């Protein structure tokens, strides 16, 4: 699953990257530890030229209370064993919480990196996972919904990140799932209302592990209250050390800590 991720880009860079404008009055606080319940940024099908705030953790429109469904399995109820070689149907289209959003309420979720723990120990043994070659920000495949809070009358937009089978890098951690990461070409198709559902589900695959890297970080990431650059400092070696690229300086300019050796 993907329950924590990082976004520290300046709004100006996000606007240029996505050819979209931040909605008026948007207050964005860069974060090294975006966790369920926190507000982050999305670009949605109903406003593909806007960068808007939304809560990480989807609440279906029909829910009686907030639910924070932060991940949506591409396979739905299939592949319960999380077989990385699974080739069956993408049953997300039939899940009550997701069958409407996957058809008409999709979004891009900008991120600079994400955090995964091991399957057995979770965030007690976390790894920072990122794309090589300065691919920041990249986009998770997301879905969103709008929920009316019956107590306050406020409409809350929230989102889930879609997950799929683990690629070779995630298996090294080892972790049993991968978030779906879209290429820039796929992003436009993902947001288009004209894209056929079969083409949408065809995108729900693991990203190329050769284009990714990861390294272990402190378990301080477990606490959502912790949110600073020290969280991404490496405490071990990269999992994909070949062709390692030193991108420390560029990340520092975007807000990352200068003391980190790898990311």
User: What residue ranges of the chain have pLDDT lower than 50?
Assistant: 243-253, 255-261
Which residues are identified as catalytic? 2, 116
| Contact present, 74 and 179 (Cβ < 8 Å) | no
- pLDDT at residue number 252: 43
Instruction: Give, in order, the Cα–Cα distances in Å from 169 to each of 74, 111, 125, 239.
Output: 19, 18, 15, 7
Nearest of 133, 232, 231, 142 to residue 179 by alpha carbon: 142
Question: Rounded to a whole number, what is the distance in angstroms from the first to the last CA of the chain?
Answer: 21
> What is the domain partition of the chain in residue ranges?
4-254
> In angstroms, what CA-CA distances link 229 with 6, 83, 172, 204, 258?
10, 35, 25, 31, 9
Token reading at 258: 């200068």
For residue 211, give the 3-state DSSP assignment.
Answer: helix
Q: Which residues pair with 47 in a beta bridge?
A: 44
* Per-residue model confidence as pLDDT tens digits over 84-94: 999 999 999 99
pTM (2 d.p.): 0.93
Question: Can you give the pLDDT at residue 257?
Answer: 40
**Measured distance CA(25)–CA(20) in Å, rounded:** 15
What pLDDT, in 10s, does the model give residues 52-89?
999 999 999 999 999 999 999 999 999 999 999 999 99
* Average predicted confidence (pLDDT) for the chain: 92
CATH of segment(s) 4-254: 3.90.1680.10
DSSP string, 132-144: STT--SEEEEEEE
């Amino acid at each position: 699953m993907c329950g924590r991720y990082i976004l520290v880009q300046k709004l100006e860079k996000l606007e240029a990257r996505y050819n979209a404008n931040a909605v008026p009055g948007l207050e964005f606080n860069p974060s090294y530890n975006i966790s369920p319940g926190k507000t982050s940024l999305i670009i949605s099908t109903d406003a593909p030229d806007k960068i808007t705030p939304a809560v990480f953790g989807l609440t279906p429109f029909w829910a009686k209370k907030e639910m924070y469904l932060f991940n949506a399995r591409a396979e739905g109820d299939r592949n319960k064993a999380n077989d990385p070689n699974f080739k069956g149907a993408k049953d997300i289209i039939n899940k009550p919480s997701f069958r409407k959003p996957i058809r008409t309420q999709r979004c891009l979720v900008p991120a600079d990196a994400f955090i995964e723990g091991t399957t057995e120990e979770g965030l007690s043994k976390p790894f920072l996972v990122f794309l090589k070659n300065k691919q920041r920000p990249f986009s998770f495949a997301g879905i969103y919904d709008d929920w009316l809070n019956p107590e306050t009358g406020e409409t809350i937009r929230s989102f889930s990140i879609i997950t799929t089978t683990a690629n070779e890098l995630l298996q090294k951690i080892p972790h049993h799932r991968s978030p779906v990461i879209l290429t820039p070409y796929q992003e436009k198709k993902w947001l288009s209302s004209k894209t056929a559902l079969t083409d949408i589900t065809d995108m729900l695959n693991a990203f190329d592990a050769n284009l990714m890297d990861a390294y272990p970080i402190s378990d301080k990431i477990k606490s959502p209250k912790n949110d600073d650059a020290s969280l991404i400092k490496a405490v071990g070696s990269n999992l994909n050390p070949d062709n390692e690229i030193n991108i420390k300086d560029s990340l520092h300019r975007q807000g990352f800590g200068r003391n980190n050796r790898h990311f």
